[in-house]
Structures are given as C-alpha cells and as structure tokens.
C-alpha cells in the first residue's frame, strides 16, 4: 500500500473522529427523558422539595413511584418505552430522602410518603392519576389506593414486598426465614458502618438476586443505592410498614395490575400469589426471564403490561 493510500485512510479516520461526538449526541437525543426534553427539577410541596421529570401530555397522568434503594432513574427505561405509545402526561420523581429530593429530617413513615405524593399532585394541579409502583413504591401505591381512592384512577404494582403475608404458612417458612435472615444481616452491617457490604448483601440476597449488582445495575445505580442506605434504615424502623392491607383493595373501584418475574427471589412471586388470592379483581402478569429488577432488565415487556392496563380491552392474566 502506497503513501497516497495511507494518506486517504488517515483523512477518512480524521473525519470519522470529528463526526463521532455528533453521532453520540444524536443517539442521546433520541431519549425523551433527558435534560434536552424533560430536565430534572425540584418542585416545592407542602413541606418537602421533590425532584421530578414531567412530560406533559393528554389524558390522565401516569405517576411512577420507585422503590427503597434507587431513585426515579429505575423507571426511566419503562417511561421511554411508554412515551413511544401513550399520550398521557408522565411524571417520575425522587422520593423524600432519595437523590435530588429533600432528605428526611426525622423518622420517616409510609404515610409521609403517601402525603408527599398527594402534595405533588396538588402542586402540579392534578386531580387524579394512574400510579405505577415498584417494590416499596408498590406498597406506597397500595396505601394511596386504600386511603385516597378519589385521587387514584388505577394502579400497577411490581412485586410489593409485603412479606408479612407469608407468615404462619408452612409452604413459605423456609424462603421467608432465609430472606428475613439476610435482611437482618444487611441491617446489622449498615448500622455498623459497613455501607457498601450491607447494601450489596441486601441487593443480592434480599431484593434482586445473586449477580444482580453487576448484571442489572450500572455504576450510577450502584452508587445511588449505596448512598440511599440511611433512608432504607429509616424505612426499616417504620412501624407503619407492617400495617399494609392489600386485601382492602377489594374496595377500590379502579383497575389493578400486579407484575411479578419468573426469575425473582421466591418470596416475591409467593407474595404476588397471596395478593392474587385476596384481591378479586387483580390481574396478575408474569414476565418470563425477569426478576425483581424487570423494570430495568425487561423494560419493553414491563411497558407492554402497563399499556395493556391502560387500555380498556385487556386480558385477565398474561405471561410476557
């Protein structure tokens, strides 16, 4: 190969390198829930500043509520999928004590989380919304529907961790004991100052399964979860967390969809099964190959269930 050929290759590589930043920016720009379109900002409610991303649209708004360890980012992949199909307003926010929202100043309770959601609706002048909750966010969603049904159009619950439903049942004795033991181990590690080890143990042994620390979560999520340890400890000391009554959802008039993963730690499908047996109108959906983090690992399948939930014609039960 002659000098002129090398020179041509060199020129071509130069132009490709110059174009690379533009290609990367164009790729980032296709994501709707990013700074270019829906920047994260704080909104002042009655007594807390909540960080939100708000995509305005038509029809009844959709509000996503994240779980104990991550923040609104855990729902972003699903929100991106939904945005391709639905015209509803979409709201994602960091719960009190998480990431860009105000920290807890005293012992938190699930009723405070519920109050924060209502205050957020009031601040945005929203009368009613569809609520989609993951993990402890699903517990908050249940409390919203039970205690404030006038503000709730419908609910989607992704694996609410109401482990108390399994107590006293021999078929669940071993799996419940294993999870409770690991939960206490995580709590002890965190209280002793072993922040990363306690967080890691909880994520892998109580919540998302072995290997999930690296296979499901990126560096941002791992750092966020580690930084959220104090909020989880606060939640673990909340006596109200034991008083959630999913069976009271039988009084709720809106649609209810429950999601579980086929690969979840066994207590989660067990809780889903018990809820299904106690709530007559609930629709149970299983995402094949997903675990407790299916909203991150299987966003399209999760979004499809939500889209079916929002549609008037839908199946009673399905497997994705």
| Spatial CA neighbour of 255 closest among 134, 132, 166 | 132
Name the β-bridge partners of 129: 152
Tokens of 106: 């005293």
d(CA 315, CA 270): 22
- Closest by CA position to 130, among listed 174, 79, 205, 71: 79
Q: Is 10 part of any domain? A: yes
Q: Tokens 């930084």 belong to which residue?
A: 227
Looking at the fold, whether 167 and 120 belong to one and the same domain comes out as yes
* One domain, residues 13 and 110: no
CA 64, CA 137: separation in Å to the nearest integer? 8
Q: Which residue has the higher pLDDT, 292 or 238?
A: 292
Q: Is residue 104 part of a domain?
A: yes
- Considering the domain boundaries, does residue 35 fall inside one? no
Confidence band for 18, pLDDT divided at 50, 70 and 90? very low
**2 and 100 housed in the same domain:** no
List 121's β-bridge partners, or say none. Answer: none
Q: Same domain, yes or no, for 147 and 221? A: yes
Helix (H, G, I), strand (E, B) or coil at 155: strand
CB 304, CB 220: distance < 8 Å: no
CATH number of the domain where residue 199 is located: 3.40.50.1820
185 and 211: one domain? yes
Task: Indicate whether 22 and 48 sit together in one domain.
Answer: no
DSSP label of 203: I
Residue 189, beta-bridge partner list: none
Residue 94 is assigned to a structural domain of this protein:
yes
Given phi > 0 = left and psi -120 to 50 = alpha, else beta, which region is 206? alpha
pLDDT of residue 4: 53
Same-domain check for residues 8 and 71: no
36 domain residue, yes or no: no
The CA-atom distances, in angstroms, between 276 and each of 16, 136, 272, 279 are 56, 18, 6, 5
Say whether 129 sits in a helix, a strand or coil. Answer: strand
In this structure, are strands 129-134 and 283-287 parallel, antiparallel, or unpaired?
A: unpaired
Do 21 and 48 fall into the same domain? no
Distance CA 160, CA 176 (A): 15
pLDDT at 197 over 50: yes
Question: Domain limits at 177?
Answer: 41-319
* Across 103-107, 199-203, 219-223, 282-286, least confident range: 103-107
pLDDT-above-90 percentage for the chain = 78
The answer to whether position 11 is within a domain reads: yes
pLDDT at 320 over 90: no
- Same domain as 91, residue 186: yes
Residue 95 lies in a domain: yes
Q: Within this chain, do residues 199 and 299 fall inside the same structural domain, yes or no? A: yes
Query: What pLDDT score was predicted for residue 106?
Result: 77
Give residue 32's pLDDT band: very low, low, confident or very high (50, 70, 90): confident
Average pLDDT over residues 230-243: 88
* Lookup result for tokens 């922040």: 195
Q: Looking at the domain assignment, is residue 168 inside a domain?
A: yes
Based on the structure, what is the number of domains in the chain?
2
Q: pLDDT by residue (tens digit) across 290-300?
A: 999 999 999 99
Same domain as 2, residue 144: no
Please give the share of the chain, as a percent, with pLDDT higher than 70: 88
250 and 181 within one domain: yes
What would the pLDDT profile of 33-91 be if each residue is shown by its tens digit?
A: 888 889 999 999 878 999 999 999 999 999 999 999 999 999 999 999 999 999 999 99
Closest by CA to 269, choosing from 176, 154, 133, is: 176
């Amino acid at each position: 190969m002659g000098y002129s050929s090398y020179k041509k290759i060199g020129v071509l590589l130069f132009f490709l390198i110059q174009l690379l930043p533009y290609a990367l920016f164009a790729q980032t720009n296709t994501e709707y829930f990013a700074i270019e379109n829906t920047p994260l900002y704080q909104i002042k409610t009655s007594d807390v500043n909540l960080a939100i991303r708000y995509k305005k649209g038509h029809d009844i708004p959709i509000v996503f509520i994240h779980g104990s360890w991550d923040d609104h980012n855990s729902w972003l992949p699903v929100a991106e999928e939904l945005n391709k199909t639905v015209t509803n307003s979409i709201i994602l926010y960091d719960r009190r004590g998480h990431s860009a929202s105000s920290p807890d100043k005293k012992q938190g309770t699930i009723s405070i989380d519920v109050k924060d959601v209502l205050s957020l609706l009031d601040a945005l002048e929203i009368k009613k919304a569809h609520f989609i909750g993951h993990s402890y966010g699903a517990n908050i969603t249940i409390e919203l529907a039970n205690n404030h049904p006038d503000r709730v159009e419908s609910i989607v619950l992704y694996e609410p961790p109401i482990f108390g439903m399994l107590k006293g049942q021999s078929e669940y004795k071993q799996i419940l004991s294993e999870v409770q033991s690991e939960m206490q181990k995580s709590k002890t590690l965190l209280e002793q100052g072993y922040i990363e080890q306690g967080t890691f143990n909880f994520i892998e042994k109580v919540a998302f399964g072995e290997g999930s620390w690296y296979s499901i979560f990126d560096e941002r999520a791992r750092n966020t979860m580690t930084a959220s340890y104090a909020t989880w400890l606060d939640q673990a000391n909340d006596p109200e967390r034991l008083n959630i009554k999913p069976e009271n959802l039988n009084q709720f008039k809106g649609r209810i969809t429950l999601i579980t993963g086929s690969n979840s730690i066994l207590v989660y499908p067990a809780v889903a099964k018990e809820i299904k047996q106690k709530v007559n109108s609930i629709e149970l959906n299983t995402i094949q190959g997903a675990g407790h983090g299916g909203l991150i690992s299987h966003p399209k399948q999760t979004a499809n269930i939500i889209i079916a939930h929002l549609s008037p014609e839908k199946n009673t039960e399905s497997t994705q």
